[in-house]
Amino acid sequence: MTTRRTLLGALAILPLARAALAPAALAPAALAQTPWPNRPIRLVVPFAAGTTTDILGRILADAIGRDLGQPVVVDNRAGAGGNVGAQAVAQAAGDGYTLLLATNGTHGINASLFPELGFDPVRDFTPIAPFVTTPTVLAVRPELGVASVAQLLALGRQRPLSIASAGNGTTGHLSQAMLNLRTGLKTDHVPYRNAGQGVTDLLAGRVDAMFYHPLGLKPHLDAGTLVALAVTSARRVSSLPAVPTMAEAGVDDFVVEGLWNLFGPARMPGEIVQRLNRITNALLADPAALANLRAQGVEPTGGTPEALAGVTREQIAKWRPVIAAAGIRPD
């Protein structure tokens, strides 16, 4: 039987128990109120160090880190055309501490190129900000004896042309496939494991031409060891103002551009998305930063998360028929 003394003792203990439990009960609320960011952020770059994507990722990481007051560590996760890095981000927590510098490969082309991505480019990511874009450049050796796209096409009707790219499914490969589709030529695609090997073979005369980003070709163009015949953008680019577009060179409906955009995992908090969006757009509006980016051969995009979501859907739809018509398969 419970005695009066026992009951009074139990009542006396209750306030002490409540006090002991209070810190544990408050801990989740306190953690939830911890300001973001309070530790380093990881920016996954889904290609190797030294690539165009890596260089751009480090420029963006530096800008985000300076604004937020926390280090932004670049994590190179190369493989499967960018899918390895993209999948790592798709599986990460949407807490703002893992970001992805995506390409239109990871968020467009690969959806039709690979039978299994390991992620959904729309469902598994939070769009944050469009970043930059660049065309490919159609380049040849001076010794080939052509100075225009028209002359290259004429040569291609006399004998097969070999055209290098940085690998199957890259924008360089899609440019070569587009050239075949738009002109009726049957050029031979020569894929390389990395662009550097392709440029080396182009300089040595082992291939006739190459489509690649301006950043990787410009030193050779400036030195005169390669000649730029055209760019694959809708407008001329500031880093190569004298080089015509493919349309200006006589090949209509020919736009192939590399895109780099900032994403996070799904279900990121809206306030974090908006802050990262503001940082990215501020970087693109800064004259010194803009000059640096254009020196890398890219042009600013910028815009809203909603615009980026639309770009992803457009890229998936754009490349599906081209990849099917050209019979492109991954390496």
257-265/188-191 β-pairing: unpaired
Indicate if 137-231 has the same CATH topology as 41-134+258-326: yes
pLDDT along the chain (331 residues), means of 10: 44 45 45 81 93 91 97 95 96 98 95 92 98 96 97 97 92 94 94 88 97 91 97 92 97 95 98 98 96 88 97 94 86 66
> What's domain 137-231's superfamily in CATH?
Periplasmic binding protein-like II (3.40.190.10)
Whole-number pLDDT of residue 13: 44
Alpha-carbon span 169 to 112, nearest angstrom:
10
Alpha-carbon span 40 to 121, nearest angstrom:
25
Whole-number pLDDT of residue 33: 61
Q: Where are the domains of the chain?
A: 41-134+258-326, 137-231
> What's domain 41-134+258-326's superfamily in CATH?
Bordetella uptake gene, domain 1 (3.40.190.150)
Q: Do 264 and 126 touch, CB atoms closer than 8 A?
A: yes
Whole-number pLDDT of residue 16: 45
With CA atoms as reference, report the closest residue to 53 among 109, 125, 101. Answer: 101
Alpha-carbon span 199 to 130, nearest angstrom:
29
Per DSSP, the chain holds a count of helices (H) and strands (E) of 11, 11
Burial class (CB in 10 A: 0-12, 13-18, 19+), 177: buried
Alpha-carbon span 8 to 170, nearest angstrom:
78
Whole-number pLDDT of residue 48: 87
Whole-number pLDDT of residue 331: 66
